[in-house]
Structure 1
Amino acid sequence: MTEPTRVLIVGGGYVGMYAALRLQRELRRHEARITLVDADSYMTYQPFLPEAAAGNVEPRHVVVSLRRVLDRCRILNGWVVGVDPVARTVDLRPHGGPGRVLEYDILILAPGSVSRTLPIPGLAECGIGFKNLEEAIHLRNHVLGQLDLADSTTDDATRARALTFVFVGAGFAGVEALAELEDMAHDACAYYPTIEPGQMRWILVEATDRILPEVGPEMGRWTLEQLRGRGVDVRIRTRLLSAVGGRVVLDDGTEYDTDTLVWTAGVRPHPLVRATGLPLDAAGRLKATAELTVEGARDVFTAGDCAAVPDLTRPGETCAPNAQNAVRQARTLADNVVATLRGGELRPYRHAYAGSVAGLGLHQGVAQIYGHKLHGMPAWFMHRTYHLSRVPTLNKKVRILIDWTLALLFRREIVSLGQLSDPRKEFERAARADREGRAEEPVLR
């Protein structure tokens, strides 16, 4: 009896998880042994990160356990630090213990993307991204913690710094994160007797001349007007020059002191792709064929943010690196892996862009669907309806729907759990004080 084909999937995001789901459904057990490797044991549904940050959705409801949904796959957690397409091996570094080498017959390389940063002084020390659940939870706790600080201090400079929130990058991530967090903070001011919503400074910095380019110029302008109407200081054609010590300096001469600097100015392919020796395009993405194999390597498949996939609906261009394409590419990729195993013909990926939706806080949104433009409540409803239909598993759909229903009946929680970001700080402080035989010093949360 022949051994099952070893299918190795690197990356547990949209492409990795959805491809694995389809493969375990389409393949018989004796045909393949599927292994998925990712640093996390869960897949994050990123479009709901802003709502998780704002407290509209329970954070655990926007993630899906890979082990739970991929019951016919082997899940390994750790970092892939190297790929040898000639020897057909992958170097895995688990979270603890020695590394190991994994062999494969077919490789699905989909590590996704990471935040694209620039060599701006102070950015690495003061900034935070908005790509994963940990960052979203931290920002929620941080913003509420800044309100706690501002309400408690008598120092005007400390108060002004705490109430200044700067976001750099006006694509989906930046606009939705700012809009949801501003909406949350606005509601929270009702519980802080010394803070009026107008005393907070929310600043959105964008280097180009428009925001939310994904929804088109008209809806982008509408969004700009809405944000400015809510008191958000939107600065287009403006760049961040420095953030040393929390002193934000813009190229228009404006300066702010802040403890909140959120960087959402684009993404770049995961660094792993450069360590594979496989062909890359000018943007550092894997060169993919229309059938979602890597050029020159028919046993290596790729898709998603890390891949330059030809857009057959727009000759000469590549598919946009968004969730809409990633989910659909995963389906085609999995079907082509099945075809490879069974000697069938590979099918090219072709998908016409359906449009985009974005949430701007409670009851506010913007959308462009098949050329139809929506804003306000209809777009907000479309945003929630569309993404609810796309969240993996019925379990998560029901839980999110319950979260939204409860939010209609009760006011959202405004508790800052700042110690979540450093849970051992209090214990270390107590142990240090006992060891030195002195009174405990206050903890800055």
Structure 2
Amino acid sequence: MRKILVVGGGYAGFYTAWRLEKKLRRGEAEVTVVDPRPYMTYQPFLPEVLAGSIEARHAAVSLRRHLRKTKLLAGTVTSIDHAHRTVTVRPAQGPDFAVGYDIIVVTAGATTRKFAIPGVAEQAIGMKHVEEAVAIRDRLLTAFDQAAVLEPGPQRQRLLTVTFVGGGFSGVEGFGELLSLATGLLKSYPELSPADLAFHLVEAKDRILPEVTDGPGRWVVRSLEKRGAQVHLNSQVVSAKDGHVVLSDGTEFDSELIVWTAGNAATPLVHKHTDLPVDHRGLLQVRADLRVGTETDPVPDAWGAGDDAAVPDLASPTHDVLTVPNAQHAVRQGKHLARNLLATLRGRPTKDYVHHSLGSVATLGLGRGIFQYRRIVIKGFPAWLMHRGYHVLAVPTWERKIRVLAIWLTALFYGRDIVSLASVQHPREAFVNDGYARAIAAEEEAPKVEVVESQKVATAA
């Protein structure tokens, strides 16, 4: 059998392998997927995970549960040597090892774009993975608990100040959902008021949500500002050292929570560690039929799709435009790649990838959203319903659809769960050093200090 190796188990990789499983004939080919995580993250659900509207596990699709005929390797591909049809895999434990293949499908995705800004690497959290969304939510809930016992002042203000850097879809959706969660939490914290909250959205360009036109983009800004948020356009973060945020427009403030959503960058694997052709941005050079190479010079037995590939957008009226790196394209490219790969195995011609956009839809918090398809713009509650309806249909497998619907129905009657489990990030802390023991020990130490000080005064007298 021919060996098909899929590098990356994200949208494009998962759907490629899933479709191949269903369509391959017995003994026709063997499929292997290499990914360090045992699940595919459905990223459009991350803002709702962040707000507590969806359980974290329900935004993750298990690879082993749904790719039952595929061989799964838990590890990271560190290099691709297509000339010799091998890749190097680095597992979490043990030495690197080589894996051979006959056909390779590169769907390694993208990495979060970072800049050399003081304090960002130490203070900020990204929003590409489930773990990050859970950490953001837990930090906000923990900050509310800590702020509720403090008197009004700089420390309380810092705890309740949230900063999102990046005004793209993921940044705006995460910002809107977290703002919705924070304002809703005030009902359970009578010690706090709306004036204690400070939410900052920082965008380097003069507008947010580049996927929609100017009018809807301005409406989103006004909507967020009416809810108490501050949107900083044409601004960049100059420093975030020790949580003190300095913007290029001169604004300064302390922020306990900084979320970095300033776009994607080419993955180092494709950019630097492969002999496959890449373009000037470090993206995999891909033809319209998703084979690696150019129209005149295709690379045999190599395919690519998703955020790491420069896929021509044949639906665009403008020449030399690439498809937008989003879930809508990645899912469809994965399915299309599988069909074309099967066609080549069976001696049939391939078809070019062409997808006309279904429009853009974003959640801005509970009951709020924005949708645009060409000149059609829908705002508010109807757009929010459209967002939920579209994504519950788009998330793979009926098992996940039913779980998500069940959580939404429960929240309809009982509201969001507001329990913070930030302690799970340090599970041994309670075992090693109990919180009550620390508090009592500190209290016992305090009188001893006072006695010593009084003895010094008496001696001096």
Normalised by the length of structure 1, the TM-score is 0.95
The separation in 1 between residues aligned to 2:392 and 2:50, in whole angstroms, is 17
Instruction: Tell whether 2:207 aligns with 1:203.
Output: no
**2:77 aligned with 1:83:** no
Residues 83 and 275, structure 2, Cα contact 8 Å, conserved in 1:
no
Per-residue displacement from partner, 1:390-427 (whole Å, max 9, x unpaired)? 01000111111111111110122211111122222333
CA distance 1:148–1:430, shift in 2 (3 Å)? closer
Q: 1:280 aligns with which of 278, 281, 288?
A: 278
Tell me the secondary structure at the aligned position of residue 268 of structure 1. strand
1:170 aligns to what?
167
1:52-67 matches, cutoff 5 A: 52-67=49-64
Output one character per residue of 1:5-55: Cα deviation in whole Å (capped at 9) or x when no partner. Answer: 000001001000001111011101200010001010001110011111111
Q: Which amino acid aligns with 2:185?
A: A
Contact 1:429 1:441 in 2 (8 A): no
1:62 deviates by 1.1
- What does residue 428 of structure 2 align with? 424
Please state if 1:291 is matched with 2:310: no
- Partner letter of residue 147 of structure 2? A
Could you report, residue by residue, the CA deviation over 1:262-294 in whole angstroms, capped at 9, with x for unpaired residues? Answer: 110101122111201222112211110111111
Of 90, 100, 104, which residue of structure 2 is paired with 1:103? 100
Q: Secondary structure at the match of 2:231?
A: strand
Contact 1:7 1:105 in 2 (8 A): yes
Q: Is 1:168–1:206's contact at 8 Å kept on the other side of the alignment? A: yes
- Tell me, yes or no, if structure 1 residue 331 matches structure 2 residue 331: no
The alpha carbon displacement at 1:162 in A equals: 0.3
Q: What is the CA–CA distance in structure 2 between the aligned matches of 1:280 and 1:429, rounded to whole Å?
A: 52
Q: Secondary structure at the match of 2:83?
A: coil
Identity %: 46
8 Å contact from structure 1 (residues 43, 64) kept in 2: yes
Which residue matches 2:450?
none
Q: Which residue of 2 aligns with 1:228?
A: 225
Counterpart amino acid of residue 406 in structure 1 = T
Name the residue aligned to 2:451.
Answer: none
Cα distance in 1 for partners of 2:363, 2:206 equals 21
The answer on 1:44 being equivalent to 2:41 is yes
- 1:171 touches 1:213 (CA, 8 Å); kept in 2? yes
Task: Name the counterpart of 2:176.
Answer: 179
8 Å CA contact 1:168, 1:204 repeated in 2: yes
Aligned: 1:309 with 2:339: no
What amino acid is the match of 1:313? A
Question: 1:126-165 residue pairs with structure 2 within 5 A?
Answer: 126-154=123-151, 156-165=153-162
SS at match of 1:213: coil
**Cα separation, 2, equivalents of 1:149 and 1:200:** 14
Q: Counterparts of 1:68 and 1:368 in 2: how far apart (Å)?
A: 35
The one of 393, 402, 406 aligned to 1:398: 402
The one-letter code matched in structure 2 to 1:373 is V
Post-superposition shift, 1:220?
Answer: 0.8
Asked whether the equivalents of residues 314 and 354 of structure 2 are also in contact (C-alpha less than 8 Å), the reply is yes
d(CA) in 1 for partners of 2:220, 2:68? 43
Q: Are the aligned partners of 1:54 and 1:181 in contact in 2 as well (CA < 8 Å)?
A: yes
Partner of 1:255 in structure 2?
Answer: 252
RMSD after superposition? 1.8
Runs (4 or more) in structure 1 with deviation over 6 Å come to none
- CA displacement at 1:297 relative to structure 2: 1.6
Matches of 1:81 and 1:29, distance apart in 2: 31
Task: Measure, in 2, the Cα distance between the counterparts of 1:155 and 1:223.
Answer: 31
Q: What is the TM-score with the length of structure 2 in the denominator?
A: 0.91
1:58 is matched by which residue type in structure 2?
A: E
Q: Deviations over 1:157-184 (max 9, x none)?
A: 2111101111110111111111111111
Moved more, 132-141 or 55-64: 55-64
> 1:196-215 CA deviation, whole Å, 9 max, x = no partner?
12320000000001111112
Does 2:365 align with 1:361?
yes
Please, which runs of 5 or more residues in structure 2 have no aligned partner?
A: 445-461
Measured after TM superposition, the shift of residue 218 of structure 1 is 1.6
Tell me the equivalent position of 1:34.
31
Aligned residues: 435
State the SS of the aligned residue for 2:75: strand
Change (3 A) 1:419 1:441: farther
1:70 to 67, 70, 95: 67
Q: SS of the residue aligned with 2:33?
A: strand
Aligned counterpart, 2:263: 266
Q: What code does the residue aligned with 2:392 have?
A: L
Q: Is the 1:169–1:204 contact (alpha carbons within 8 Å) kept by the matching residues of 2? A: yes
After superposition, the Cα gap between the structure-2 partners of 1:440 and 1:46, relative to the gap in structure 1 and judged at 3 Å, is farther
In 1: Cα distance, 2:276 partner to 2:432 partner: 47
SS for the counterpart of 1:299 is strand
CA-to-partner distance for each residue in 1:189-247, whole Å, 9 max, x for gaps? 11112111232000000000111111221211111110011010001001110011111
SS in 1 for 2:412: helix
CA–CA separation in structure 1 for the residues paired with 2:302 and 2:389? 35
Distance 1:245 1:108, change over 3 A: same
Instruction: Give CA-to-partner distance per residue, 1:124-179, whole Å, 9 cap, x none.
Output: 01111111100000000000111111112237221111011111101111111111
Q: Which letter maps to 2:93? A: G
**Do the aligned residues in 2 keep the contact of 1:14 with 1:43 (CA within 8 Å)?**
yes
Distance in 1, Cα, partners of 2:11 & 2:26: 23
Q: 1:282 to 1:352 in 2, by over 3 A?
A: same
Q: The residue matched to 2:322 in structure 1 has which SS?
A: coil
The answer on whether the counterparts of 1:215 and 1:357 sit within 8 Å (CA) in structure 2 is no
Indicate the SS of the match to 1:360.
strand
Q: What does the per-residue CA deviation read over 1:84-128, in whole Å, with 9 as the maximum and x for residues that have no partner?
A: 010100111111112211100000000101100111111101111
